[in-house]
Amino acid sequence: MTKNAKTTTKASVKDPVIEFADTGKARFKDVPLSYPLNVDGALVNKITVRRLTAREVKDLQETMDENGFLFERLIQPFTDQPQCVLDALDQDDFAEVAETVVDFLPEKMRAELENARAQMETMLRQRMEDAAETAQQEPSPPGEASLPTSPMPSSGTKTSS
């Protein structure tokens, strides 16, 4: 008995090479560090921040949905450094990296972040105004009777003990 089977082989499908076209718009930005670090003996004097791809934004959104919004923890995917290096940055350098990341956020995320920031500022301002108004309405607590600090009465005559 002869087997007359027809075999077909699929041609291997190679993923296309995809690159961003040069549009003159920055996709990367180096943030120089005012307080460089030595990481495993290597000098880190800048952090490179980059724009994310659609897949990376989707992953970032899923992380936010699962873990809540912690902006400090969302910065790392935009950079060329692990979280432990970002955590070790000087506060001013970290703030500069964070500002650059905000510039590279997708427009929708940037708008949501700005909206959340504005809401927080409004809430804080309202709380401060309420606290000031409450403080003005409450009478001052009665003070304790003052203790004499000098054996001399205000008339200047000495009192007898």
Instruction: List the chain domain ranges.
Output: 28-105
pLDDT at residue number 44: 97
pLDDT at residue number 32: 98
Q: What is the DSSP letter of 78?
A: G
Residue type (1 letter), 51: R
The tokens for 157 are: 């005559």
86 HSE (CA, 13 A, CB side): 22
Q: Single out the residue of 19, 11, 113 nearest to residue 61, CA to CA.
A: 113
Q: Is the dihedral of CA 59, 61, 64, 70 positive or negative?
A: positive
Q: Single out the residue of 103, 102, 101, 94 nearest to residue 35, CA to CA.
A: 94
Q: What is the DSSP letter of 14?
A: P
Q: Are 57 and 106 in contact (CB under 8 A)?
A: yes
The tokens for 62 are: 């899923």
Kindly report, residue by residue over 10-61, the tens digit of the pLDDT: 667 899 999 888 888 889 999 999 999 999 999 999 999 999 999 988 888 8
| Torsion region of 41: left, alpha or beta (phi above 0 gives left; psi -120 to 50 gives alpha) | left
Kindly report, residue by residue over 92-122, the tens digit of the pLDDT: 999 999 999 988 887 887 788 788 888 888 9
Q: Are 83 and 73 in contact (CB under 8 A)?
A: yes
Residue 159, pLDDT above cutoff 90? no
Q: How far is CA 37 from CA 49, 82, 92, 101, in A?
A: 17, 13, 13, 20
